[in-house]
């Protein structure tokens, strides 16, 4: 799962979340739901501090590619939110491609630190109805 693969996977997760909640008109809410599902799964594996570190690094990397994310921050429990002073200002936050960039950075770091097989296993557990074919190197995971 190279960077291009992480981007494709991020787009799939965001699309899956958007389709799952047809009542939401905000793409931002899909990105926040993806982040929250990843947070819940990974806090079990790495603890809150471990996930917060990973999410903070992903956000820092994403901000370099998507300046609209400058208003976002990772809280002490690992959740993602806007800086309080930015809430009243006009900003892009998780609009448009910013959400894909953020989630792909997070997935890329996961791949680096825990490997492809465990990353895909965590994703399959968090999104049991999502399709993850062609996201890995082509080798099917042996159960």
Whether the per-residue pLDDT at 131 is higher than 80: the answer is no
Between 2 and 25, the higher pLDDT residue: 25
Whether the per-residue pLDDT at 94 is higher than 70: the answer is no
Count of CA atoms in the C-beta half-sphere (13 A) of 50: 13
Whether the per-residue pLDDT at 134 is higher than 80: the answer is no
Model pLDDT, residue 90:
43
**Is the model's pTM score more than 0.85?**
no
Model pLDDT, residue 133:
64
Helices (H), the chain: 3-20, 27-65, 98-114, 116-126
Angle 65-69-74 (CA atoms, 0-180°, nearest 5)?
A: 115
Closest CA to 51 of 42, 60, 63: 42
């Amino acid at each position: 799962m190279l960077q291009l693969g992480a981007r494709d996977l991020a787009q799939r997760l965001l699309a899956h979340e958007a389709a799952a909640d047809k009542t939401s008109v905000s793409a931002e809410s899909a990105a926040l739901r993806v982040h929250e599902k990843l947070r819940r799964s990974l806090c079990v594996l790495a603890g809150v501090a471990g996930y917060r570190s990973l999410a903070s690094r992903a956000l820092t990397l994403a901000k370099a590619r998507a300046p609209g994310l400058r208003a976002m921050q990772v809280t002490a429990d690992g959740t993602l939110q806007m800086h309080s002073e930015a809430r009243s200002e006009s900003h892009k936050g998780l609009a448009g491609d910013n959400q894909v960039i953020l989630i792909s950075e997070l997935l890329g770091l996961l791949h680096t630190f825990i490997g492809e097989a465990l990353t895909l296993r965590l994703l399959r557990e968090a999104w049991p109805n999502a399709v993850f074919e062609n996201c890995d190197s082509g080798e099917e995971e042996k159960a």
